[in-house]
Amino acid sequence: MWFEIFKTGTHTDSEGATRTWTEADLDTIVSRYDPSQHEAPIVIGHPKDNAPAFGWVEAIKREGGRLLAKAKDIVPEFKEMVNKGLFKKRSVSLYPDLTLRHVGFLGAMPPAVKGLADVQFSEGDAISIEFDEYQMSLLGNIFQRLREWFIEKFGAETADRVVGQWDIDELKRSQPTEIKAFAEGDREKAKKAQEARAKKYGIAIKEGGNVTKPSEYETVPDDEFADPVNYRYPIDEAHVKAALSYWGMPKNREQYTTEEVKAITKRILRAAKKAGIEIDEEKWNFIEKEEDMDKIVELEEKIKQLEGSLSEYAEKEKAKDAELAGLKQALEKEMAEKRQAEFNAFCDSLVTDGRLTPAQKPLVMDFMEILSVVTEYEFAEGDRRVKKSPLEAFKGLLTTLPVQVEFKEMARKDKASSLTGKATEKIEALIQDKLKADKTLNYNEAFTLVQKENLQLAEEYATEIKG
C-alpha cells in the first residue's frame, strides 16, 4: 500500500528557504531512489547519521502531484507509538542531488507542507510523511561563540579540550540541508566555481571541503577565508582567533601540501596581526621544521634505498663467491683424482719391477701427495745446486732403488701349491705363516722371503698387480 510523503507546490523549509516543487522534481526524486545503493531509513527527527532506523523505505513513486512511499520492516514498538499519535508529522531529508536521504517522524515540530493525511500503522501498511528540512546550524553558531569566548578567556588549549573546532565544524557541516544551496540546480555551477577558486588561490579541492559557503559564514568574503577554495578557517576579525587555534593543530594540516600550508599560514598570520593579535613566532616555525623533517625523511629514504642496493650487491657477491668456491673445490677434486691415478700407476710399475713392495705402496703414495703441493726446491747435484720439483726428485729416487724381489726360479718345488685363491691371498697367507714362525721378522722381510721361496707364485702375483 502506497502513502503520501510529499506534494508539489511552493514550500518553505525550516531555514526559510522557499522553492516551488514541480512534478518534474518529484520524478527526479523517484528516479534517483535506488534501495540497493542507499535504502532510506525511517527515523525520529533528523539524526545526522540516519540512525537509529525504525523501518525502511522500500520504494517511492509519484501519482499526480503527490509523492508516495512504501515502508517495510517497521519496528513493532515504533509502530505502536505512531498508532498512538505520538509522531503525526513527517519530514523528508534530501541529498543535494535530490536523492531521498531519510524520512523523519516529528512530534511537536511544525511541518512545512500542509494537507497530507496523518498515518497510522497496521499490518502491511506504510507511512505518509510531510515535507520539512531541519538542521542545527543555530546550535553550531552557539558553540562557535562559546569556543571563541573560551579562547579569549582561557586560551586555545583550554578551548580545544572543552569545545573543539573540529566538532563544531562537523556539527555545522553534518546537517542535510544543502537543498537551499542547490535549489536551482546549481550543483555543477558551484563545482566549477570551486575549481576556479582552486586555480586562483593555488589550493586543491579537499575531501570534506565545502563547495559553497556554510550558512554561518555567508557574509564572509572569499578573501577572508584562510582556505577560500574549501571555505575553511574564516579569518575575519570575528573568527581569526579560532583559525589560529585550529590551524595550529598538526592533524588539520595533514590534507595540505607544503606549499598550501605555507600559503594558508601566511594568510592566517597576516589577518591575526591586522586584528592586533600577538603572535608567538616560535610556535609558527612549524613550516620550516616540517620542511626540515621532510628533508630528513627524504635523506633517510635515500639511505634506505642505498642500503637495499648494497645489501642486494652483497648478496650477489656472496652468491658469486659461493659459486667460485664450488668450482674451485670441484677442480681440486678432479686434479687430486688425476694425481692419485698417476701415482698409482707409477707405484704399480715399481712393484712390478720389484723395487717396491705392495706394503710400501700406500705410504709412498701419501708422501707423493704431500710433495705435490711443493712447487720447487733447490737440490745439490754434483758441485752445483739446481731447482727441481720435489715430487719429480722423489720419483727419480724411487726408480734408482735396488730390486727387492727377483722373479726367477729359485726352487723347483712351489711351496704354495697347496694353497687356494688368488696369488695375493696366497702370498698374504704365507707371509703370516713366516711372521708366526719367526718373531724377529718384519712384514717386508717376510714378504721378500715368501717371493724368493715361491717363484711361480711371485710371477702370478706380478701378473695380478699389472691387472
119-172, pLDDT tens digit by residue?
554 433 333 333 433 345 566 677 777 878 877 778 777 777 777 766 676 565
Q: Please answer whether residues 229 and 209 qualify as being in contact, where contact means their C-beta atoms are separated by less than 8 angstroms.
A: yes
CA 459 – CA 46 distance, rounded (Å): 120
Give the domain CATH number at 75: 3.20.16.10
Final residue in a domain of this structure, among 378, 404, 430: 404
- The secondary structure of residue 401, as a DSSP letter, is S
CA 407 – CA 398 distance, rounded (Å): 19
Mean pLDDT of the chain: 77
Whether residues 345 and 434 fall in one domain: no
Beta-carbon neighbour count of residue 7 at 10 Å?
Answer: 21
Region 255-276 average pLDDT: 90
CA 441 – CA 339 distance, rounded (Å): 34
Name 32's Cβ contacts closer than 8 Å, sequence gap at least 6. Answer: 97, 98, 99, 100
In a domain, 388, yes or no: yes
42-51, pLDDT tens digit by residue?
887 765 544 5
Q: Please answer whether residues 150 and 159 qualify as being in contact, where contact means their C-beta atoms are separated by less than 8 angstroms.
A: yes
pLDDT of residue 77: 74
pLDDT of residue 174: 44
- Compute CA 425 distance to the chain's CA centroid, rounded to the nearest angstrom: 75
The band of 88, judged by pLDDT with boundaries at 50, 70 and 90, is low
Q: Please answer whether residues 401 and 364 qualify as being in contact, where contact means their C-beta atoms are separated by less than 8 angstroms.
A: no
Please state whether beta strands 232-234 and 377-381 pair in parallel, antiparallel, or not at all (unpaired). unpaired
CA 176 – CA 32 distance, rounded (Å): 17
- The secondary structure of residue 404, as a DSSP letter, is S
Q: Which three cell numbers stand for residue 248?
A: 595550529
Q: Please answer whether residues 56 and 38 qualify as being in contact, where contact means their C-beta atoms are separated by less than 8 angstroms.
A: no
Whether residues 74 and 149 fall in one domain: no
In a domain, 111, yes or no: no
Whether residues 433 and 456 fall in one domain: yes
pLDDT of residue 225: 94
341 phi and psi angles, rounded to 5 deg: -65, -40
Whether residues 389 and 268 fall in one domain: no
Whether residues 32 and 89 fall in one domain: yes
1-12, pLDDT tens digit by residue?
567 778 888 776
- Compute CA 382 distance to the chain's CA centroid, rounded to the nearest angstrom: 81
- What's the burial of 285, exposed, middle or buried (CB within 10 Å: 0-12/13-18/19+)? exposed
pLDDT of residue 183: 42
CA 376 – CA 261 distance, rounded (Å): 79
382-441, pLDDT tens digit by residue?
777 878 788 888 888 888 888 776 544 444 345 556 677 888 888 888 889 888 888 888
In a domain, 132, yes or no: no
Final residue in a domain of this structure, among 370, 386, 404: 404
pLDDT of residue 129: 34
In a domain, 200, yes or no: yes
Name 444's Cβ contacts closer than 8 Å, sequence gap at least 6. Answer: 357, 359, 360, 404
Strand order in the sheet with 3-7: 3-7, 66-72, 55-63, 41-44, 100-106, 89-94
Final residue in a domain of this structure, among 279, 308, 343: 279
Count of domains in the chain? 4
Whether residues 79 and 141 fall in one domain: no
Write down the pTM of the prediction.
0.33
Amino acid (one-letter) located at 197: R
Q: Which three cell numbers stand for residue 57?
A: 523505505
Q: Is 198 helix (H, G, I), strand (E, B) or coil?
A: helix
CA 411 – CA 408 distance, rounded (Å): 9
Q: Please answer whether residues 210 and 226 qualify as being in contact, where contact means their C-beta atoms are separated by less than 8 angstroms.
A: no
Q: Please answer whether residues 113 and 8 qualify as being in contact, where contact means their C-beta atoms are separated by less than 8 angstroms.
A: no
Question: Considering the chain, what percentage of its residues have pLDDT values greater than 90?
Answer: 7
Residue in the block written with cell 516551488: 20
Residue in the block written with cell 591575526: 272
pLDDT at 217 over 70: yes
Whether residues 380 and 312 fall in one domain: yes
In a domain, 121, yes or no: no
For every residue of 228-284, DSSP letters joined together read TTTTEEE-STTTHHHHHHHHTSGGGGTTS-HHHHHHHHHHHHHHHHHTT----TTGG
276-314, pLDDT tens digit by residue?
988 877 777 766 655 555 566 677 778 888 888 888 888
Whether residues 391 and 416 fall in one domain: no
pLDDT at 448 over 90: no
Whether residues 328 and 426 fall in one domain: no
CA 32 – CA 25 distance, rounded (Å): 11
CA dist 158 → 139, 154, 155, 244 (Å): 21, 6, 6, 14
- Find the angle CA(144)-CA(146)-CA(148) to the nearest 5 degrees: 70
In a domain, 204, yes or no: yes
CA 164 – CA 246 distance, rounded (Å): 8
In a domain, 201, yes or no: yes
Q: Is 69 helix (H, G, I), strand (E, B) or coil?
A: strand
CA dist 207 → 188, 211, 309 (Å): 17, 10, 38
Whether residues 467 and 453 fall in one domain: yes
- What's the burial of 385, exposed, middle or buried (CB within 10 Å: 0-12/13-18/19+)? exposed
C-alpha R_g of the chain: 53
- What's the burial of 203, exposed, middle or buried (CB within 10 Å: 0-12/13-18/19+)? buried
Whether residues 54 and 184 fall in one domain: no
Q: Which domain holds residue 436?
A: 406-467
Whether residues 304 and 329 fall in one domain: yes
The band of 173, judged by pLDDT with boundaries at 50, 70 and 90, is low
Region 61-84 average pLDDT: 82
- Compute CA 34 distance to the chain's CA centroid, rounded to the nearest angstrom: 37
In a domain, 306, yes or no: yes
pLDDT of residue 119: 54
pLDDT of residue 141: 72
